Chain A
Amino acid sequence: MENLVNIFVKSIFIDNMIFAYFLGMCSYLAVSKTVKTSTGLGIAVIFVLGFTVPINFLLEKFILKAGALTWINPTLADVDLSFLTFIMFIAVIASMVQLVEMVIEKFAPTLYTSLGIFLPLIAVNCAILGGSLFMQEREYANIAEATVFGLGSGVGWFLAIVGIAAIREKIQYSNVPAPLRGLGITFIITGLMGIAFMSFMGIKL
């Protein structure tokens, strides 16, 4: 249990998807103009990450890893399908995103229209694929750890996008040098937020 809490806190603050790895930056920069849409996209990302990471964990464990197919037949012990990882992961992600899109369209049509093109683009949000690939690289022991890691990464991404959206709403009233307006200042603020988040690295878990 303690271990799970550690993974959760670590994936939100220390290994934050945006500030530590820059994953999912494209939609982060494009959608973060208002807090409202950012919140919607953030929740969608938490949801998608929370499902795809454990599903991909199972795929990895029972199909893709070297020798993972022994549960079907012991003679398959030397089959190594790990080169198929990317295609399998992206297929799972694309279908999950499709599902989320349908759910949002049904239950929150206003949010659906305000997110527009960025909802299907979650499929190519690197934070989602990155979550699964980090899960694979860090070799989490069981599905509970993988799920907690997925949810934590999603929450970290959510916090980052809502934070920057709030700052961007306020900064419209500031006197930023003209060439730096919009994109430039957003990059620099994200950099500063990243430096702030790095102070979490001192926490020993």
Chain B
Amino acid sequence: MSTEKEPLLSPKNLKLLTEPLGKSNPITVQVLGICSALAVTVKLKPSIVLAISVMVVMAVSNVVISLLRKSIPPRIRIIVQLVVIATMVILVDQVLKAYAYDVSKQLSVFVGLIITNCIIMGRLEAFALANKPWASLLDGLGNAAGYAVILIIVAFFRELLGSGTLLDIQVIPQAFYNAGYVNNGMMILPPMALVVVGVIIWVQRSRRKDLIED
């Protein structure tokens, strides 16, 4: 079917998709897009919605920029990138307001802040400007997935330990509370998200010694 010289999911392309999940994870290794990653992770549901939104924005804007890459003058590329991202974010924001109003209220300004999520800018600068659309799509999806994984891990622990629920369903049985278990109120507070990410980095780096900083 495909007339491409390279198969659509060649090892090289597959690497674009999987590498950001671990070795070059946008949050724990490239240190991009931290802000939104931390602020919305009190509950699992808004985190998942934000992760999906970022994935959509990132995949589409990566492809658009990659298609335009030969006609964008380098001097105004940042403005062009911002306009493409902002347009996508407006679309996502309007869709969320229409179909998931309560979640969009919970996310408040953070949907708008996808515009300034440095992962998106960073990938556009570093990848989409120099690569073909299909590779850029995979790169966008891969990096957004790497972001989503961290977001969901952090939200999972914060919601489980902080409120005893997952996706608002009670997980920790009542018997535990009767036996004296108490929800850890600290986990709901914003600073604990940072500590959880710090621990994730710790775990990741003790398994992959090559990532250790001197």
Contacts and interface: CB of A to CB of B under 8 A. Distances in A.
Contacts of B195: 187-188, 191-192
Given A133-B112, A191-B191, A22 B39 contact: yes
B35 A22 contact: yes
B31 A19 contact: no
A84 B213 CA distance: 43
Given A24-B35, A29-B31, 18 more contacts: A19-B191, A22-B34, A23-B39, A86-B86, A124-B116, A124-B118, A134-B109, A178-B212, A181-B212, A183-B31, A183-B213, A184-B201, A187-B195, A187-B201, A188-B194, A188-B199, A191-B195, A194-B189
Contacts of A22: 34-36, 38-39, 190, 193-194
Interface residues of A, number: 49
Interface of A: 19-26, 29-30, 83-87, 90-91, 94, 120-121, 123-126, 128-130, 133-134, 137, 177-188, 190-195, 198
Contacts of A193: 191
Interface of B: 28, 31-36, 38-39, 78-79, 82-83, 86-87, 89-90, 93-94, 108-109, 112-113, 115-118, 121, 189-195, 197-199, 201-206, 209, 212-214
Query: Dominant SS at the B interface?
Result: helix
A29 to B, nearest CB: 5
Contacts of B193: 22, 191
Contact of A191 (B93, B194, B205): B194
Nearest to A24: B35
Given A86-B89, A191-B192, A195-B191, A124 B121 contact: yes
